[in-house]
């Protein structure tokens, strides 16, 4: 198995084989975990994985576990780390507040309004960051599945579903209210 990291917009389609799955991990820890599980399973089944990871922490050790029989997964993993690129978007700036947080009035406006707008725009902003790479993959063979890890990845999965209309879209592991 080879693991390749790429910034958004620089995905090398040549690293992706004929049989692959597309994973949008979203921007949350839960999304990262869900995506990691989906990636582990796909890699062990011999599929290549293209994983858009927007969670803002190092990507080391994201695969949930090592195979019990000690074998290496057969597929290749291409991780597009878009957290940094996403942090430069308007939605992210609204969410973080930046210098607004130093002034009490501005902080209040940020807290009740701007932060919420930033969060609301975030799924779409993730899509805008990753869509260039998706266009590059459009000429490739269709993925075997599209997986989204959290709510912030829904937009990217939905738009990808419009590119590959017959490909199954599924969620990663989800919190059940059972």
Partner 1 sequence: MKPHLLYIAFWYPPSRASGVYRALATTREFIAAGWDVTVITCTREFLEDEIGSTDESLLAEIPSSVRVARVPFTFGLAVDVRLLSWFSANFPTVARALHPRTASLRGTITAISGGAPVSHRFADNYVTWIEPVVEEGARIHSRHAFDHILATGNPYSSFEAARRLSEIAGTGFSVDYRDPWTIDVFTGNAEITDRATRAVERQIVASADTCFHVNEAIAGAYRRLYPEYAHKQQVVHNGYDAESIPPSPRSATPPYKFGILGTANDRWPLDAIFKAWKASMPGLPAGSELLLAGHLGYFARSQDVLEAYLPNDSSGFRYIGPVPKAEVADFYDSIDVLILPVPGGVMVTSGKVFEALALGKPIVCVQSKGGGARALLESHPLAIGAEPNPESVKSAIEEAARMARDLDPSLSAEIRFKNTRYERHIAMQPMVDAITTSSQIGDRP
Residues near partner 1 (CB under 8 A): 33-34, 37-38, 40-42, 44-45, 64-65, 68-69, 119-124, 127, 148, 151-152, 154-155, 157-159, 161, 169-174, 176-178
Q: What is the smallest separation between the CB atom of 5 and partner 1, expressed in angstroms?
A: 22
24 neighbors 131 (Cβ within 8 angstroms): no
Measured from the CB atom, is 102 or 166 closer to partner 1?
Answer: 166
Q: What is the smallest separation between the CB atom of 105 and partner 1, expressed in angstroms?
A: 24
32 neighbors 61 (Cβ within 8 angstroms): no
Q: What is the smallest separation between the CB atom of 172 and partner 1, expressed in angstroms?
A: 6
Q: What is the smallest separation between the CB atom of 34 and partner 1, expressed in angstroms?
A: 7
Q: What is the smallest separation between the CB atom of 102 and partner 1, expressed in angstroms?
A: 26
Identify the three-state secondary structure at position 148.
strand
Measured from the CB atom, is 103 or 168 closer to partner 1?
Answer: 168
- Per-residue CA distances from 12 to 23, 57, 112, 132, 146 (Å): 16, 23, 41, 12, 19
In DSSP notation, 92-107 reads HHHHH-GGGGGSHHHH
55 neighbors 29 (Cβ within 8 angstroms): yes
Question: Cα 87 to chain center, whole Å?
Answer: 14
* Torsion sign, CA atoms 31, 34, 163, 54: positive
Phi, psi of 78 (to 5 degrees): -115, 115
């Amino acid at each position: 198995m080879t693991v390749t990291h790429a910034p958004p917009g620089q995905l090398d389609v040549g690293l992706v084989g004929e049989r692959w799955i597309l994973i949008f991990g979203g921007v949350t820890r839960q999304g990262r975990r869900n995506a990691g599980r989906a990636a582990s399973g796909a890699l062990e089944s011999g599929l290549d994985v293209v994983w858009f990871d927007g969670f803002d922490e190092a990507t080391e050790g994201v695969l949930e576990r090592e195979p019990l029989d000690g074998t290496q997964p057969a597929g290749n993993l291409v991780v597009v780390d878009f957290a940094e690129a996403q942090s430069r978007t308007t939605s992210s700036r609204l969410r973080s507040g930046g210098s607004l947080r130093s002034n009490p009035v501005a902080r209040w406006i940020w807290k009740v309004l701007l932060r919420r707008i930033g969060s609301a725009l975030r799924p779409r902003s993730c899509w805008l960051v990753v869509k260039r790479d998706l266009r590059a993959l459009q000429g490739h063979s269709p993925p075997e599945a599209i997986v989204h890890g959290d709510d912030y990845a829904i937009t990217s999965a939905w738009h990808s579903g419009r590119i590959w209309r017959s490909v199954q879209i599924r969620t990663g592991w989800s919190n059940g209210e059972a």
